[in-house]
Amino acid sequence: MLGGFDTLGAQESVTVILTIKEDFEMNPRRLLIGQYLLVALMFVTASVTPLMISGCGSAEEMEEDPLFSQTARLQYRVDSLMAENRRLIQQVDALASDNRSLTARAAELEMRLREAQTAPPPPPPIADVSSAYSAALSQYRRQDFSGAMLQFEQLLSTGIRDDLADNCHYWIGECLYGLKKYSDAIHHFETAMAFSHSEKKDDSLLMIGNSYAAMGNKNSAKEAYNRLVSSYPASPYVKKAQEKLAKLG
């Protein structure tokens, strides 16, 4: 082993190590492999040094021995390269973390861009709201529930006045009731009732009761009918609510 080390020479060893270091700096992906190579070289150096010392005689002779001095310098260079290797590994880890963050951000922006590109265009403005509302009612009366519902929804999307918006929600509920989508219908009837000055509160309560009854929920249907009778005693729908209550028992 010692003979092989003498043949290579300390100066040649330093040259090899510096070449490896430059290669690692140009190719960060090889850092981990380089670390293992440097550790192996350091191990060889540490193994050779005791053999050299044991055959060199006194301390004074060892200090004056050029090969011993070169080996010490080589050990120092190995230690320095190991420290530099660790620093470069930390830099690569930091760059990898930044790259992951940038990749995630780019994916998010790309998704938003696709959503913006595929979003449906806004509905065209309605020139005559009253005419559009009347046209939607006509579709409902023709039992074109889907078409009428789209018209009422379009009216709502234009930001119409509250005194018309509550009516649109009510008639959307009627359309859904006609389509036998009772849960969705109840939602729109309740929305219509939420408008403070709505004129569709008693209408909506009657239809909420009808929707629950159609779903087989008798208790909720009775609650809606009783609320109509007690809260709006002058409503023309009171008689219908009482008839419904009588049938439910």
Q: Does residue 186 sit in the same domain as residue 206? A: yes
Residue 173 lies in a domain: yes
Q: Does residue 86 sit in the same domain as residue 59? A: yes
Q: Does residue 152 sit in the same domain as residue 223? A: yes
The predicted model gives 95-122 an average pLDDT of 82
Q: Does residue 29 sit in the same domain as residue 106? A: yes
Residue 152 lies in a domain: yes
Q: Does residue 236 sit in the same domain as residue 199? A: yes
Q: Does residue 165 sit in the same domain as residue 138? A: yes
Inter-residue contact 124 to 118 (CB < 8 Å) = no
Q: Does residue 141 sit in the same domain as residue 31? A: no
Q: The whole model's pTM is what? A: 0.52
Backbone phi, then psi, for 25, in 5-degree steps?
-65, -35
Residue 214 lies in a domain: yes
Q: Does residue 155 sit in the same domain as residue 112? A: no
CA atoms of 92 and 182, how far apart (whole Å): 60
Q: Does residue 135 sit in the same domain as residue 176? A: yes
Structure tokens belonging to residue 208: 């909420």
Instruction: Work out how many domains the chain is built from and give that number.
Output: 2
Q: Of 118, 146, 174, which residue is a domain's last? A: 118
State the residue range of the domain holding 222. Answer: 129-248
CA atoms of 174 and 137, how far apart (whole Å): 11
Q: What is the pLDDT of residues 201-218, one digit of tens each?
A: 999 999 999 999 999 999
Contacts of 35 (CB under 8 A, 6+ apart): 82, 85, 86, 89
Q: Does residue 164 sit in the same domain as residue 79? A: no
Q: Does residue 159 sit in the same domain as residue 179? A: yes
Residue 63 lies in a domain: yes
Q: What is the CATH number of the domain that holds 230?
A: 1.25.40.10
Q: Does residue 162 sit in the same domain as residue 78? A: no
Q: Which position has the token pair 């008639």?
A: 171
Q: What is the pLDDT of residues 130-183, one digit of tens each?
A: 899 999 999 999 999 999 999 999 999 887 888 899 999 999 999 999 999 999
- What letter represents residue 150's amino acid? L
36 or 125: whose pLDDT is higher?
A: 125
